[in-house]
């Protein structure tokens, strides 16, 4: 169903959750505000949203170098206190995010960072593909937006499926940690270097090596 901006804004004020989380919750509950609030709280999203105003200046810069030195990652993750930063849950999360970046190669942290011209270009491509496939004009917009969501789930770290649990996004994993620790936690930035980047290589071989490493580090 179509969800208007006023309802989304009201839900944001009640929960502190992000726009897309609020819109999704309202769609899943057919516009029922109270049910949407409950849904966000069950998911830990509401608690995470309320914590987002807290200053997160502690944390860690985590590094990960893939075996053989072919891929290297640095990621900065912040929290509110040194106590949480030194905890096992936070430390494990930092390692997992570094490996996520190595394995899934995100281009951006979140949707807001994707340049408008990139989004416009992707929309044009998807619209042309749908037209070439003979799709009716009246459903083109929904097809384009659906494909755009899949694209964002590939290139944005927070939208990507978590490498160890494909049904969970990295953003959901982050919000679970926020709920568990009771602190605002922010993935601030990341950098990924790949040996020979820009030189033609067999990308499938590198992906297979990272996947093997993930299997070896399962607990």
What does each of the 219 residues of the chain score in pLDDT, given as a tens digit? 567 777 887 877 777 666 777 888 888 888 888 888 888 777 665 555 555 556 678 999 999 998 789 999 999 999 999 999 999 999 999 999 999 999 999 999 999 899 999 999 999 999 999 988 888 888 888 898 899 999 999 999 999 999 999 899 999 999 999 988 888 999 999 999 998 887 765 556 666 667 777 777 665
CATH code reported for the domain at 5-51? 1.10.8.10
Give the residues across from 187 on adjacent strands: 77
Domain 115-152 part of CATH 1.10.286.20 = yes
Contact criterion met (CB below 8 Å) for 185 and 178: yes
Domain with CATH 3.30.479.20 in the chain: 58-111+156-216
Kind plus residue range of the DSSP H or E element containing 50: helix 45-51
Structure tokens at 91: 């430390």
Contact criterion met (CB below 8 Å) for 98 and 73: yes
Domain with CATH 1.10.8.10 in the chain: 5-51
Cα dist from 5 to 12, 21, 22, 62, 83, whole Å = 10, 13, 10, 38, 39
Region at 72 (left for phi over 0; alpha for psi -120 to 50; beta for the rest) = beta
CATH code reported for the domain at 58-111+156-216? 3.30.479.20
Q: Is the pTM of this model over 0.95?
A: no
Domain with CATH 1.10.286.20 in the chain: 115-152
């Amino acid at each position: 169903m179509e969800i208007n901006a006023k309802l989304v804004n009201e839900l944001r004020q009640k929960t502190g959750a992000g726009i897309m989380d609020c819109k999704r919750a309202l769609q899943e509950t057919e516009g029922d505000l109270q049910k949407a609030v409950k849904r966000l709280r069950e998911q830990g999203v509401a608690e995470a949203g309320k914590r987002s105003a807290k200053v997160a200046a502690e944390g860690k810069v985590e590094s990960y170098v893939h075996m053989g030195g072919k891929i290297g990652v640095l990621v900065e993750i912040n929290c509110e206190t040194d106590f949480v930063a030194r905890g096992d849950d936070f430390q494990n999360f930092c390692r997992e995010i570094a490996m996520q970046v190595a394995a899934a190669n995100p281009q951006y942290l979140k949707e807001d960072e994707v340049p408008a011209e990139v989004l416009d270009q992707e929309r044009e491509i998807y619209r042309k593909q749908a037209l070439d496939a003979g799709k009716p004009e009246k459903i083109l917009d929904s097809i384009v937006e659906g494909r755009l969501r899949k694209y964002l789930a590939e290139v944005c770290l927070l939208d990507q499926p978590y490498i160890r649990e494909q049904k969970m996004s990295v953003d959901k994993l982050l919000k679970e940690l926020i709920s568990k620790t009771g602190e605002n936690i922010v993935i601030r930035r990341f950098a990924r270097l790949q040996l020979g980047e820009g030189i033609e290589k067999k990308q499938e071989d590198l992906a297979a090596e990272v996947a093997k490493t993930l299997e070896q580090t399962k607990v």
